[in-house]
């Protein structure tokens, strides 16, 4: 194995790990909208300043789940990788007050866990042509 192919193999394994773990995170969130639509409605009201019905939450969860599964298998990379990057970035920015004051009030420091995911999704998007392992 040459040094170049070793680097490519290491990169592909790393990109696959990022894709699988990000998909896992987003599947937990999208499936939550389906099985706990009342929670999704509360999140939309709190962070996106919009009322949605539980039926709409379930629909959003179903569409997001299909989108995340396409991302997981590496399909339509420009659209799925870019779409998740945009959606997640908007989600992170919607919590900007919690990010600026992580130690205030009920100390919701876990919101900071979403920030590195933006960087991981950006990396996947930028090198999406190199993400070939277990990818359609």
Residue 4 has pLDDT above 80, yes or no: no
Domain-embedded: residue 135: no
Residues of the domain holding 28: 3-130
Per residue in 36-79, pLDDT (tens digit) is 999 999 999 998 889 999 999 999 999 999 999 999 999 999 99
Our CA angle for 82, 85, 91, nearest 5°, is: 140
2 confidence band (pLDDT: 50, 70, 90): confident
Domain-embedded: residue 107: yes
Q: Number of structural domains, the chain?
A: 1
Domain-embedded: residue 88: yes
Residue 1 has pLDDT above 90, yes or no: no
Distance, in Å, from the CA atom of 11 to the CA atom of 54, rounded to the nearest integer, reads 41
């Amino acid at each position: 194995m040459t040094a170049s192919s070793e680097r490519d193999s290491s990169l592909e394994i790393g990109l696959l790990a990022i894709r699988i773990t990000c998909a896992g995170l987003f599947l937990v969130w999208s499936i939550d909208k389906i099985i706990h639509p009342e929670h999704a409605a509360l999140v939309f009201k709190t962070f996106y300043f919009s009322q949605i019905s539980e039926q709409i939450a379930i629909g959003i969860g179903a569409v997001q789940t299909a989108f995340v599964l396409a991302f997981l298998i590496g399909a339509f990379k420009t659209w799925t990788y870019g779409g998740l990057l945009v959606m997640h970035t908007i989600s992170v920015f919607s919590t900007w007050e919690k990010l600026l004051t992580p130690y205030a009030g009920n100390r919701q420091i876990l919101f900071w866990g979403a920030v590195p995911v933006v960087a991981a999704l950006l990396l996947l998007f930028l090198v999406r042509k190199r993400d070939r392992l277990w990818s359609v």
